[in-house]
Structure 1
């Protein structure tokens, strides 16, 4: 409203200026001692000035009036950001991949798949040492991931996919298509792709610390992951999921979130990977898609009824959070024909403050603030609720984790140094209240 009043005042001042000039000229004309010819000449010049100023002030007034109308319209009807623009801007970000690879002269590109560079297969073969076994970084459903050196200064990861059937081919196409449109600090970066007969290759940025699964359940058994580092990984993962759920259009549901698909770079920054099973809301009928996923991470409603929503990813995130907290695998064998999920085993103890400290991963036991431990356990319990409607949105999970992560690791917790507050080995019974 202040802007409206200011513009209106300016408009009135401009439109009334010729009247002031005319009045001043009349006063000058009535003064004694002025010659008649000079008076006539002065009146003519004043009239011309008045006409010119009237034209200019009217034009300026019209312009200001148009600006005023435009401002009033947009203040009442603010323009909404087009969701289509989000998609197109993501696609434009994908175009930056080709210039990135072009910096390395030794990288031979033979074409493009959409906006994704196609790298010469022979170069990929050479870069992986002819797919040497010692270069294997991990293994998936349709093949292995290899470490490759495309250039002296460019180490990458190459996923080799055997696409003899249409399921594998569809996963390849789906992953390349989605990752070409996504660029986020907590989502793996796609650098290129390639093919050779029935084999497909996807080239990613190299994640030096491998997968979260390897860190937690491999030879080191989580010894490199402190409590704060684990909370940072959980926070990074939730940020990546929030981007997929709330900032991508159409919404992206990962559908195969698990610790082996959370990769860690040299600084233990976590990034989501493996988008072969991901779906976009609206791209297909989610209730009629083939049941896919990994045992232990699949949400109950998807497993039983085929219902798939963003809350399915939240359930899988809850399982990952339990892995970080307890150091256990999502499914463990009790006997040759019996298995037990981490959710079934942990749920009764997660809500009991007298039992919770004793089931925490021994590597981090007694290294965190007890209040923070109870908070994380409460978040995990909510995420793995059987009913999707009781699970939080990933944005709510994100906001609950931020205060638990030190500032230097991406959160808001301010600590001069990592303090260790020892949990009591056997808390009093009334401490659970």
Structure 2
């Protein structure tokens, strides 16, 4: 320890929550110190709180002295539903008992649970820094407990964060029972009068082999590295990206992680250029990765070219959580593929996602591509990471990263990145400006906690018999696929609790197969539950096929699949709950109170197109939906579209397929499919074109028997007005005068291009997305649509036993799969 009387001494401390594993603790503290050092550059004292850790420093010694300022109380926005007076009294009593236990314990950490009602339990946590004595710890915790009536009275959760201690309570178990991995014991001191071992955040580098017959002028390498370094120092943009070349001989590129500030980006690039210059002095190409940036140069142009080599991999493999490994692996795979499905669609080529695993754990995923890549190359790069570098056998890792030259992917069980609103970043408090040279770090981590509680072990033993039974049922229904979907299976009792025992109040719809209910899981997720009727003779095969298909698809414009229940006679599908019903309700229901504006309709068209693009081109599986229609387009709280109902979908490994059994809904079927059983991507394009025209006109292509008897269906009507150059006459009367006429005419023309009789004349979904996003692209002239088909058939008829009624959640229908 440095001399406490020295004017240059700086004192530091960090503390991790008592249930946090050591490796997670280390990553949390590393992230916190970087943020603190960048935001409190000249402050003589500072403090930062994270979910799993806190870090503090000062120019005066604070060891063994309880500090209660600054104070940071926070509370849940919602009140408890039970008697608040009783709740507050019970909470204070339990929290004081928890504080007593924490003060007396060796690691200054304690948790306690208190039953509130039959269904509600209060979970409490108290912790002090381990430099405090028993009396000092209890004094600090007493001050924190006294803040509860001020900040958190009647609230469903809250916490008080102080420099020397903290408390927290929730109505769910937010901490671990026992410690799944050994924690570092004892307290130790360390002099860190260095710059993080001279190079903070360095991960790896690769240099080409020196070839004296092919060399680069060292001055050119120096020039390009100096240019990149200077560009980073003089930039004020986040997600900084730069590429350049010197005399067409040396090409260089750098990319900073999308969440870091420009100052940290500049520091990272400066370190990277310095190190790569010293490590690769004679190399004609080199690559270096840091935690916050990457940098690359070469004697050939690699711009706009996807590169997967060289690569850097780091996986945190663990043998813990054996009982949850299958579930975790599937959730991780779903999370990674969702990021892959979203990132290519973003201009900054940067994407983060969070996924709730259980009551106490959240998975954080981050992906990024270099910004010179096309959307397709970015998508392929991220998918190559998932399929090649993180195969199914390695998905048991509880954290890891894979870094390519063109893209990166990382996942952890702690928030290692910032988001745009800083809602994942803890508050930081800074004091007066000052300088320091020496930092003294006191490592305060709780000693090894006990292993899994005895009661938890007993609980697992009781469940083992049930799990064995569930595995047998899965094997019987899904065969070899049961190993990959087992983690998505829910117990029937969980679904009963979520839907209030399938009460009438929770019922939101009815399909041909059974009932649809809304519900809330114990972790707060809102779900839509589709329950197959026990007496129904249809739906078993459809149930199996929809589980196997949609579980492998993740995109923001597809309804999210959460899981399923297969128990005795019960067959249940569980989706995210989408509150705004389906598109057909807003277009065709006369009782709908909301009028869709043109902006909303245009965004819905664009969102559906991007969802289809994912199905056709960017998902692991090439999927033909075969039943695109407004009743299968759900709208979330922001009126964003989500494609649902994959009961009729087909997975194909070729451009088209055929079937002897026609399934779907007339009015949306392409003629080659309805008449000959041939389906392809162009079948979905036809259905999408019909929807575009329905969205613009507010008229249904099916359901009007009179119009069809007269041979004047929607397609015929729009085509006639197109020929008469009077397209605006078909516009929904509710929108006239409140729309961009150029966009309306352009969308109608796109719709007509999609419904042309010859499938080869219809545009691809990639072309359609380009038409919608770039108004400068000139559209081809459409040919006559295939409206003749529907003049010959009953427009209200549906195939494969489908109901023609519209409901707010997707119905299940039959599907057959082809191997990919």
Which residue in 1 is equivalent to 2:665? 294
Does 2:409 match 1:169?
Answer: no
Give the Cα–Cα distance (whole angstroms) in 2 for the partners of residues 252 and 280 of structure 1. Answer: 5
Residue from 369, 382, 395 that aligns with 2:740: 369
2:558–2:644 CA contact under 8 A, matched in 1: yes
Structure 2 residue 595 is the aligned partner of structure 1 residue 224: yes
| Other structure's SS at 1:94 match | helix
Contact persistence 1:241–1:394 (CA under 8 A) = yes
Structure whose residues are more often helix by fraction:
1
- Are 1:349 and 2:694 an aligned pair? no
Match of 1:266 in 2: 637
| Structure 2 residue 497 is the aligned partner of structure 1 residue 126 | yes
> What SS does structure 2 have at the residue aligned with 1:331?
coil
The 1-side partners of 2:307 and 2:627 are apart by 33
Alignment of 1:183-262 (within 5 A): 183-221=554-592, 223-262=594-633
Higher relative strand content: 2
User: Is the CA contact 1:351–1:378 (under 8 Å) kept in the aligned structure 2?
Assistant: no
TM-score normalised over the length of structure 2: 0.37
1:358 is paired with a residue whose SS is helix
Partner of 1:416: none
Q: TM-score, length-normalised on structure 1?
A: 0.67
Task: Indicate conservation of the 8 Å contact 2:586/2:595, yes or no.
Answer: yes
The aligned residue for residue 334 of structure 2 is 94
* Structure 1 residue runs without a partner (length 5+): 11-59, 82-88, 405-433
Matched, 1:7 2:200: no
Question: The residue matched to 2:678 in structure 1 has which SS?
Answer: coil
Give the CA deviation at 1:248: 2.1
Structure 1 residues 335 and 204: CA distance shift in structure 2, 3 A: same
Contact 2:530-2:574 at 8 Å conserved across structures: yes
1:399 match: 770
- Between the aligned partners of 1:391 and 1:371, the Cα distance in structure 2 is 22
Instruction: Find the aligned partners of 2:655 and 2:762 in 1 and give their Cα distance.
Output: 24
- Name structure 2 gaps, 5 residues minimum: 1-209, 219-278, 287-297, 309-328, 339-353, 362-462, 472-481, 776-820
- 1:284 CA displacement: 12
Alpha-carbon distance between aligned partners in 2 of 1:213 and 1:197, rounded to the nearest angstrom: 35
Task: Please name the residue that 1:151 is paired with.
Answer: 522
Shift of 1:163: 7.5
> By how many angstroms is 1:182 displaced?
1.5
Range with bigger deviation, 262-271 or 218-227: 218-227
- Seen in structure 2, the aligned counterparts of structure 1 residues 72 and 161 have a Cα distance that, compared at 3 Å, is farther
Name the CA distance, whole Å, in 2 between partners of 1:65 and 1:244. 41
Within 5 Å, which residues of 2 pair with 1:44-63? none
Give the whole-Å Cα distance in 1 for the aligned partners of 2:774 and 2:306. 34
How far has the Cα of 1:371 moved from its partner?
1.6
How many residues of Structure 1 are paired with residues of Structure 2 in the alignment?
Answer: 343
C-alpha spacing 1:6/1:184, structure 2 compared with 1 (3 Å) = same
Query: 2:550 aligned to 157, 179, 189, which one?
Result: 179
The superposition leaves residues 193-228 of structure 1 with CA deviations (integer Å, 9 ceiling, x where unpaired) of 102434411111111111111121224457431001
CA-to-aligned-CA distance 1:165-209 (integer Å, 9 cap, x gap): 886223222221222221111111111110243441111111111
Q: Is structure 2 residue 621 aligned with structure 1 residue 381?
A: no
Q: Does 1:316 align with 2:687?
A: yes
Of the structure 1 ranges 118-127 and 383-392, higher mean CA displacement relative to structure 2 is found in: 118-127
SS of 1:151's equivalent?
A: coil
> How many Å apart are 1:364 and its aligned residue?
1.1
Structure 1 residues 302 and 121, CA, compared in 2 at 3 Å: closer, same or farther?
A: same
